[in-house]
Amino acid sequence: MKNILITGCSSGYGLETARHFHSQGWNVVATMRTPREDVLPRSERLRVLALDVTKPESIAATLEAAGPIDVLVNNAGIGLFGAFEATPMATAREVFETNTFGVMAMTQAVLPQFRARRSGVVVNVTSSATLAPMPMVAVYTASKMAIEGFTASLAHELEAFNVRVKLVEPGYGPTTGFTNNSGSRMDGLIPEAYAPFAERVFAAFAQRLR
């Protein structure tokens, strides 16, 4: 029976991915910053573990608790919407810590077992924003574009060890918690000068979702 570890399972794509693989008979380790066992079915094949991908000690503890895995899905991420001009560099770094360096750290942590076993799959979840650039999400898009290049290069690097690296570029989903995950980071990121443009962007975005 295959074992899969998925990051960012509290909502959206991570949650649905955990549900899907569990329904297919896999052993699932669903991770979240703040564990919520009520969102997933109770099962001997499913465990919910706490994980903060920005903290090395959290990564190490989670992988030790998880045991050997066959697949890692790097889904954890945070959103950000606002004018780049108004975005503090500290906020940009915070987004990259989760969306970019968190993915790299998780991947690096599982590679020794994959390489030694000469099997394993890493799936990195980015965004359709990398395919069709959107305004007001420059930092977010940059954090995801970095993973696109990372994934492409790493796939060649690990091919000799029979370890596969894949990319998923999902579109926006209303249940992903993109806005909720943005939190207070978005405060003040739409200055008055940008407000008319931001309103048009919001209106166009809402129109696409109808």
Q: Is 140 a catalytic residue?
A: yes
What SS3 class is residue 36?
A: coil
CA distance 30 to 47: 6
What SS3 class is residue 124?
A: strand
Amino acid, single-letter form, for residue 157: E
Burial of 3 (0-12, 13-18, 19+ CB in 10 A): middle
Amino acid, single-letter form, for residue 75: N
Options 13, 140, 172, 194, the catalytic residue? 140
- Give 83's contacts (C-beta < 8 A, 6+ positions apart): 136, 189, 190, 191, 194, 198
How many CB atoms are closer than 10 A to CB 1? 7
* Residues with catalytic function: 140
